[in-house]
Amino acid sequence: MNLFAGTGSLIRLALRRDRIRLAIWILLLAVLPVITAASFAELYPEAAAREQIAATLGSSPAIGVLLGPLYSSSIGGLTAWRLAVPASLLIALMTSFTVVRHTRAEEEAGRSDLLGANVVGRRAPLTAALVVAVGASVVAAAVAAGGLVAADLPVSGALAFGAAMAAAGVVFSAVAAVAAQLWHGSSAARGAAVGVLGISFMLRAAGDSTSGVEWLSWISPLGWSQRLRAFGDERWWVLAIPLVVGLILVATAFVLSTRRDVGSGILATKPGPEAAAASLRSPLALAWRLHKGALIGWIIGFVGLGTVMGTSATTFADLFAESPELARLVEQLGGEEGLADAYISAMLGVFAIVASAYGIQAALRLRTEETVGRASPLLATAVPRWRWEGSHLVFALLGPVLLLLVGGLAIGVAYGISIDDIGGTVVDTLGGALVQLPAVWVLSGLAAALFGVAPRFTLLAWGALVVVFLLGQLGPILQLDQWVLDMSPFTHVPQVPGGEVTATPLLWLGAVAAGLTLIGFAGFARRDVG
Amino acid sequence: MDAISITGLAKSYGTTLALDGLDMSVATGEIHGFLGPNGAGKTTTLRILLGLARADRGTAVLLGGDPWADAVDLHGRLAYVPGEVQLWPTLTGGEAIDLLGRLRGGLDEGKRRKLVERFQLDQTKKGNTYSTGNRQKVALVAALCSDVELLILDEPTLGLDPLMEALFREVISEERAAGKTVLLASHILAEVEALCDRVTIIRAGRAIESGTLADLRHLTRTSMTAHLTGPPDGLSSLPGVHDLIVDDQVAHFQVDTDKIDKVLRHLVDIGVHDLESRPPTLEELFLRHYRDDPAELAQ
């Protein structure tokens, strides 16, 4: 039988299932560059102002951690620099989730057998998933490039920017394709793909901020996106790297897929204990088993990122002090220390958004358990609904506390070592991390409330996170009205370290979060399960 | 007192009417078959009994309590096997059995060992590596190894092979002998026929028949095949005889169960050298109830 038979039908099926999901991703990816370019054009219409920005920010190791090197002070160059990493990250998430969703997750759910019994070739599901994922990145890249051209930016730069985005999509589709062959469970495969993404980010962050190890960026897929130098002096040959790596990975995935049965993974699942440990006797103990792996992964990510950020905080301040005019500005801001403080508090703001993503994910685990059908048997035992719901919400509310603590601690220790004052910096950064919590809890609470009252619309919690993220990133650049910015809980978080802390906004945020969580409990107590 | 008594139960999901005034009762200590095609409202009824869904109208009394308000207390006294069992991917079958048993208030280790052995269940596999049938076994063992008064089973043999199905029947019979009440939702007629003391048949959210199998059979016909020695005169016009086919000297027909004696007498007059009589199967009962003919249903 033709190994690829039925690929076309599977592609149509995947597009039908993902039509909204992919449309949102593509819209987000296509709109971001256009908005960013427009805002740079509005804020810095003059080349001199842009050169100043480029000179200060573009060569800073600290900014290098987050965004990487800057190759041109043109509007296109600034846009490419600002977005190369975020857009590659987003496209990597889109493609790897899409590939796993249509391969391993389908096998896990047993639907592949249903399809496999029809005229569907053994290689068709993987081929279809790759075509859809790569196709979506190409579409997003093309729309983004088109938007940049329409904004009067150079065509070659716009094409290079789009090509870099699509290339990241190719690499991470292929990474996910391999992961989907190795592991039996879809969550393990997704976790592996995200892990590769995390490692790519760390390699690139280290390579772009530390002299002597620049080569690290060259082994990171996220680094390749920048080294194409869109709107700079484009180096098209760099594109060959992601394409070759992608092809090798895809070939590997196909070879692996022929060496295993449908439904099984290359890495065998180990048998476990015949009976449960004495401690596995409560919903909370079960929730711990279900959340443990992901939580540990997130903690490792926060420690790694915190360390890199903390280390680069001083170089950030040094850099500003080198230029006389900026030094004066720095004085006004409270000296070098004040500047480092501002940098750290901004970084903690980023951490808080990421911790909110964990909170939402942990809260929505409730909905997954419910729809998959694992909640009913549990709730048919002598477990009150609030205890089951609470067992997962504990992770949604306390997980972010843990993440922000270890993240703040890592920044504080790394920064403290670099300025020889661990005691002082750790207290500051921990404080800065903790003031973010009420705002994070608002988002966890929103997810809980949706689960209780409008379970079919729990995805809105992710929508809220995207809005909050965009308001934080683009709000100041777009000079939006204050009331718009005020919709984001993070607008109300005081700047720590460095700023004044007033209790009122924190108490308000806490009250809103508590109210939303209670709505979540009250709603679930009243509604049908399943 | 009845273990379960339901009156006028109604439930709709949006515009779909799932239950439309359901009445039924399950006596303590009996195995009660709950029969109906897919979508008739069986699972909705069970979910209401388990306090997982709330009825729009009507009342349900479960073990003397309100299934919604007293859910937690009642759940300590019952065990439930869902129709499509899903296990936690990272927990082994054994861990799931322990967890569910403990959350119910404890499990009998001796009984668990015996059940695991009889069902030949490998407890060390991870939840996402079991086949459908084996997931079903995990749920069955988890439900049966607790000391509860009531078992609520939703299509429990879905995915079990015939040997395991036979074993399931054996085990459920033992549970009845031990004094437990069983509510068994199913559309597998042989299973219900082999196990159940009483049956409720549900269709489009209403109970259309309820009683012992003998009661229900009374409503239907017995199939007969008679090898005659004389001509089949008058047989076709005899009241209670239906669908008569005479093939050489062999007559196939159906008899209304309450007219059997008269028909037998007539057969003896004709002369018979062989007679086969088959009681109506539940299958036939079922077909009669589900034939989509309103006129026939009205009769």
* Sheet hosting strand B272-278, strand order edge to edge: B241-247, B250-256, B221-228, B272-278
- Closest CA in chain B for residue A378: B100
CB contact under 8 A, A110 and B54: no
Q: How many residues does chain B have?
A: 299
- The pLDDT of residue B122 is 94
DSSP A239-274: GHHHHHHHHHHHHHHHHHHHTS-TT--SSPPPP--S
- The pLDDT of residue A70 is 84
Distance (Å, whole) CA A386 – CA A526: 11
CB contact under 8 A, B54 and A383: no
Contacts A–B by Cβ distance under 8 A: 124
List of long-range contacts for A74-77, beta carbons under 8 Å, 24+ apart: A74/A47, A74/A50, A74/A154, A74/A157, A74/A231, A75/A37, A75/A40, A75/A41, A75/A44, A75/A50, A75/A153, A76/A37, A76/A148, A76/A153, A76/A154, A76/A157, A76/A158, A76/A161, A76/A230, A76/A231, A77/A157, A77/A230, A77/A231, A77/A232
Contacts of A297 in chain B (CB under 8 A): none
Contacts of A381 in chain B (CB under 8 A): 75-76, 100, 103-104
Per-residue pLDDT of chain A (530 residues; tens, 9 = 90+): 578 888 888 899 999 998 888 988 898 888 888 888 887 888 788 888 888 877 777 666 666 777 888 888 888 998 898 888 888 988 999 999 999 999 988 888 777 777 767 777 888 899 999 999 999 999 999 999 999 999 889 999 999 999 999 999 999 999 999 999 998 888 888 888 988 998 898 888 888 877 778 888 899 999 998 888 889 888 999 999 999 999 999 999 999 988 887 777 777 778 888 888 888 999 999 999 999 988 998 998 899 888 877 877 766 666 555 556 656 655 555 556 666 777 788 788 889 999 999 999 999 999 999 998 999 999 999 999 999 999 999 999 999 999 999 999 999 898 888 777 788 788 888 988 999 999 999 999 999 999 999 999 998 998 899 889 888 877 766 677 888 888 899 988 887 777 777 888 999 999 999 999 999 999 999 999 98
Is B295's pLDDT higher than 70?
Answer: no
Nearest to A316 by CA among A340, A350, A341: A340
Q: B80-118, pLDDT tens digit by residue?
A: 999 889 999 889 999 999 999 999 988 999 999 999 999
CB contact under 8 A, B95 and A273: yes
Is B46's pLDDT higher than 90?
Answer: yes
Among A110, A275, A283, beta carbon nearest to B94: A275
Q: Pick the residue of B80, B107, B112, B128 with the most A CBs within 10 A to test the interface with A by mutation.
A: B128
Torsion of CA A62, A66, A71, A76, to 10 degrees: -130
Question: How close does chain B come to A373, measured CA to CA in Å?
Answer: 6
Distance (Å, whole) CA A135 – CA A169: 9
- The pLDDT of residue A322 is 58
Token readout for B157 is 């043999």
Per-residue confidence at B297, pLDDT binned at 50, 70, 90? very low
CB contact under 8 A, A271 and B82: no
Distance (Å, whole) CA A129 – CA A124: 8
Per-residue confidence at B187, pLDDT binned at 50, 70, 90? confident
Distances (CA, A) of A307 to A85, A311, A409: 19, 6, 9
CB contact under 8 A, A380 and B86: no
Question: How close does chain B come to A456, measured CA to CA in Å?
Answer: 14
Token readout for B1 is 């007192």
Question: Contact A95/A249 with Cβ under 8 angstroms?
Answer: no
Contacts of A293 in chain B (CB under 8 A): 90
Question: Contact B120/B100 with Cβ under 8 angstroms?
Answer: no
Among A274, A289, A374, beta carbon nearest to B124: A274
* Confidence check on the interface: ipTM exceeds 0.85, yes or no: no
CB contact under 8 A, A377 and B80: yes
DSSP A443-469: HHHHHHHHHHH-GGGTTHHHHHHHHHH
Distance (Å, whole) CA B254 – CA B237: 13
Among A273, A382, A528, beta carbon nearest to B75: A382
Torsion of CA A379, A384, A387, A389, to 10 degrees: 50
- The pLDDT of residue A327 is 60
- The pLDDT of residue A35 is 84
Preceding amide of B162 cis, omega within 30: no
For chain A, give the longest Cα–Cα distance: 74
CB contact under 8 A, A271 and B85: no
- The pLDDT of residue A326 is 58
Q: B28-45, pLDDT tens digit by residue?
A: 999 999 988 778 899 999
Give me the residue label for tokens 């790394």. A414
Distance (Å, whole) CA A375 – CA A394: 17
Nearest to A306 by CA among A184, A414, A158: A414
Mean pLDDT, residues B63-83 = 94
Amino acid at B14: G
CB contact under 8 A, B95 and A530: no
Return the sign of the alpha-carbon dihedral for residues A478, A481, A486, A492.
positive
Token readout for B205 is 């959210």
Contacts of A276 in chain B (CB under 8 A): 91, 94-95, 98-99, 102
Q: Pick the residue of B19, B63, B95, B141 with the most A CBs within 10 A to test the interface with A by mutation.
A: B95
- The pLDDT of residue B298 is 44
CB contact under 8 A, A281 and B99: yes
Nearest to A96 by CA among A235, A195, A237, A213: A195
CB contact under 8 A, A276 and B72: no
Contacts of A282 in chain B (CB under 8 A): 103
* Cα first-last separation, chain A: 41
Question: Contact B48/B119 with Cβ under 8 angstroms?
Answer: no
Residues 6+ apart with CB under 8 A from A313: A62, A340, A343, A344, A347, A411, A414, A415, A418
Token readout for A366 is 């409730």
Given phi > 0 = left and psi -120 to 50 = alpha, else beta, which region is B271? left
Query: 3-state SS string over chain B?
Result: CEEEEEEEEEEEECCEEEEEEEEEEEECCCEEEEECCCCCCHHHHHHHHCCCCCCCEEEEEECCECCCCCHHHHHCCEEEECCCCCCCCCCEHHHHHHHHHHHHCCCCHHHHHHHHHHCCCCCCCEHHHCCHHHHHHHHHHHHHCCCCCEEEEECCCCCCCHHHHHHHHHHHHHHHHCCCEEEEEECCHHHHHHHCCEEEEEECCEEEEEEEHHHHHHCCEEEEEEEECCCCCCCCCCCCEEEEEEECCEEEEEEEHHHHHHHHHHHHHHCEEEEEEECCCHHHHHHHHHCCCHHHHHC
Q: What's the gap between Cα A196 and its chain centre?
A: 13
Nearest to A200 by CA among A94, A96, A85: A85
Is B294's pLDDT higher than 60?
Answer: no
- The pLDDT of residue B289 is 64
Among A271, A293, A530, beta carbon nearest to B125: A271
Token readout for A64 is 């290098």
Mean pLDDT, residues B180-188 = 90
* Cα first-last separation, chain B: 33
- Closest CA in chain B for residue A371: B86
Q: B245-277, pLDDT tens digit by residue?
A: 888 889 888 888 778 888 889 888 888 889 888
Distances (CA, A) of A113 to A117, A378, A503: 6, 28, 57
- The pLDDT of residue B292 is 53
Which residues of A lie inside 8 Å of B (Cβ-Cβ)?
108, 110, 184-185, 187, 269-276, 280-283, 286, 289-290, 293, 372-374, 376-384, 526, 528-530
**Helix orientation angle between A385-419 and A503-526, rounded to the nearest 10 degrees:** 150
Token readout for A201 is 């980010």
Residues 6+ apart with CB under 8 A from A146: A158
Averaged pLDDT score across all residues of chain B: 88
CB contact under 8 A, A289 and B125: no
Question: How close does chain A come to B298, measured CA to CA in Å?
Answer: 35
- Closest CA in chain B for residue A528: B53
CB contact under 8 A, A382 and B88: no
Question: How close does chain A come to B204, measured CA to CA in Å?
Answer: 21
Distance (Å, whole) CA B227 – CA B275: 6
Q: What's the gap between Cα A528 and its chain centre?
A: 33
- Closest CA in chain B for residue A279: B99
Contacts of B139 in chain A (CB under 8 A): 377
- Closest CA in chain B for residue A385: B72
Q: How many residues does chain A have?
A: 530
Amino acid at A486: D
Contacts of B91 in chain A (CB under 8 A): 272, 276, 286, 289
CB contact under 8 A, B92 and A271: yes
- The pLDDT of residue A143 is 94
Distance (Å, whole) CA A431 – CA B209: 69
Higher pLDDT, A501 or B23: B23
- The pLDDT of residue B38 is 79
Task: Give percent of chain B with pLDDT exceeding 70.
Answer: 92
Question: Contact A276/B94 with Cβ under 8 angstroms?
Answer: yes
Torsion of CA A5, A6, A7, A10, to 10 degrees: -160
Q: Angle A136-A462-A492 (CA atoms, 0-180°, nearest 5)?
A: 130
pTM of the full predicted structure? 0.80
Q: Are β-strands B198-203 and B181-186 bridged in parallel, bridged antiparallel, or unpaired?
A: unpaired
Task: State the burial class of residue A48 (Cβ atoms within 10 Å of its Cβ: 0-12, 13-18, 19+).
Answer: exposed
